[in-house]
Amino acid sequence: MTSSTSVPPRRWLFTGDSITEWGRTDKRDPHDLGCNYVRLLAEEHLAGQTVLNTGIGGDRLADLAERWQRDVVALAPDVLSVYIGINDTWRHYDEGVVSPVPAFAQRLRELLVHSPPLARRWSWYPRSCCPMPRRTATGMRT
């Protein structure tokens, strides 16, 4: 007898900002994968499975939260990938809007708790694709 936990995921959802959205022409159609890492995964590693993309360029976590029900919960993914945060950081520099890390992390956790049941078995791995250089005591960048 096979338990339900051994069934491989069949429905993958990728959401977030422009890194996920890149190349999508119809932002209302989650089947429009764009020209990005989501498409590469769909064509290679996830071939034969349902892959959806609801990434929207320029979104901050607050924007994603506003569309969470429609663009995540309603699509009922087995696996959910969220790539968000660069615009929250950037808004500090171009508009003076600050997104404190603890508040960001708490809000993201709240959203993930309200994700579809199968996708709720998650691990959160915050990552930075472009780490900021640090200055040492002598002013050198590392």
Q: pLDDT digit string (tens) for 95-138?
A: 888 888 889 989 998 998 888 776 665 555 555 444 444 444 55
Residue 142, pLDDT score: 43
70: domain range? 9-120
pTM of the predicted model, to two decimals? 0.79
- Tally of structural domains, the chain: 1
45 part of a folded domain = yes
The answer to whether residue 142 is domain-embedded is: no
Ordered strands of the 11-16 beta sheet: 50-53, 11-16, 79-83
DSSP-assigned beta bridge partners for residue 133: none
In a domain, residue 129? The reply is no
How much of the chain, in percent, has pLDDT values that exceed 90? Answer: 58
When pLDDT is averaged across residues 68-96 and rounded to a whole number, the result is 92
User: Does 135 or 64 have the greater pLDDT score?
Assistant: 64
CATH of the domain at 50: 3.40.50.1110
Could you identify the residue written with the tokens 């950037």? Answer: 90
